[in-house]
Amino acid sequence: MRSRRSLLAGASLLFAASAARVAAAQSEHDIHFLSEHAAESGMDAHYAALPWPAVRLETGAWRQSVDVSAASTRTELIDLDGSMVGFGATKGTGRNRGYELLGFYSQMDFSGVGGRSVLAAGFLDGVPLDLPNDADFAAPRGTLRHFGVGAAYVRERGHGSQLIAGLLLERADVRGVALDYRLASGADAGAAGVLDHSSAATFLTPFVGWQQTRSISTQWTWSPRALLTFPLPPGDFDGRLTGPGFDLGTPEDGKALEFGDPFVSLGLALAHVPTGLEIDLGGALLFAATERVSHAGVDHAFVVHVAWRPRGHAPQ
């Protein structure tokens, strides 16, 4: 119980810190924050759908997991949709302890109808435009490719509960993420060009999790769970702006924004023992609520996570 309380307290602190960061940013609710938060929401969806260890550790035996998920994020101007596949393998190495190896790969597409927002480009030096000012944005495009591998120590604590602590090596490639713009106000109204936030970052991401699996019947179990992830170091969210007679971008012409936030995932998985199939119903509901708080400008978000674990059985 003490371990669970500590984990939930840590989750609350991280969530509060993330919400405070958003509150500070909301007064600058511009296109750059929308672009960054859409990408980070996609990363959060993948953390929420990482493979979990086998319900019960078996000394010397491997237990596999195949995980698939679909996610979608809607912001005021930009949408992000895609899927992820994950693989996990858990092995017991002794009484009540073992380890998990895991990996995941995802590709998501940026799209949307565009609209009006603030073009600031404060991260660039010497932009020859009257900024910040309103601009009309069109044709959001690009991809988020996110993949990684990791390992975790797994400790069983009794009453069907597990503690998990591990490390991910992950990569996030934000490729060709761009919008066309036309200034709608200010001295340079009518000026047009392209805003591009293509970026790439590699993270070492510590994570810690807790889950407790209980039997509903001989055929069904349910598992409340929580996972904290903390990607390090923050990645550079680069920016490039073109317009009449200029083409400027980071890092040569300014300082990049940052992306890659700590994330708290809460879930409630329902598993069918005979088939080994599992769906995270709680995660699907809670992800939508937490993303709207943790990332300014996200109007709607969802993730659906399904796993298959061969030889599934209920805890005794």
Between residues 28 and 283, the one the model is more confident about = 283
Given a cut of 70, is residue 27 above it in pLDDT?
no
Q: Side chain identity at 275, as an amino acid letter?
A: T
Whether the CB-CB separation of 197 and 32 falls below 8 Å is answered with yes
The candidate with the shortest Cα–Cα distance to 100, out of 58, 68, 69, is 58
Q: What's the fold here for domain 2-308? A: Lipocalin (2.40.128)
CA distance 272 to 311: 11
What pLDDT is recorded for position 312? 45
How much is the pTM?
A: 0.86
Handedness of CA 107, 111, 116, 122 (dihedral sign): positive
Between residues 27 and 152, the one the model is more confident about = 152
What pLDDT is recorded for position 20? 39
Handedness of CA 93, 97, 99, 104 (dihedral sign): positive
User: For residue range 221-275, what is the model confidence (pLDDT) as tens digits?
Assistant: 999 999 999 999 999 999 999 999 999 999 999 999 999 999 999 999 999 999 9
Rg of the Cα atoms in the chain:
21
What are the boundaries of each domain within the chain? 2-308
Q: What is the mean pLDDT of the chain?
A: 89
Range 290-294 average pLDDT: 84
Whether the CB-CB separation of 40 and 25 falls below 8 Å is answered with no
Given a cut of 70, is residue 12 above it in pLDDT?
no
Whether the CB-CB separation of 211 and 178 falls below 8 Å is answered with no
Range 35-61 average pLDDT: 92
Please work out, in degrees rounded to the nearest 5, the angle formed at the alpha carbon of residue 78 by the alpha carbons of 77 and 84: 160
DSSP the chain: -HHHHHHHHHHHHHHHHHHHHHHHHGGG--HHHHHHHHHHHHHHHHHHTPPPPPSS--BT-EEEEEEEEEEEEEESS-EEEEEEEEEEEEEEEETTEEEEEEEEEEEEEEE---EEEEE--TTBS---S--SEEEEEEEEEEEEEEEEEEEEEEEEEETTEEEEEEEEEEEEEEEEEEEEEEE-SSTTTT-EEEEE--EEEEEEEEEEEEEE-EESSSSEEEEEEEEEE--BSPEEE--EEEETTEEEETTTTB--EEE---EEEEEEEEEETTTTEEEEHHHHHHHHHHHHHHSTTEEEEEEEEEEE-TT-----
Given a cut of 60, is residue 16 above it in pLDDT?
no
Given a cut of 60, is residue 119 above it in pLDDT?
yes
Given a cut of 50, is residue 25 above it in pLDDT?
no
What pLDDT is recorded for position 29? 63
User: For residue range 123-132, what is the model confidence (pLDDT) as tens digits?
Assistant: 999 999 999 9
Quickly count: other Cβ atoms within 10 Å of residue 222's Cβ: 16
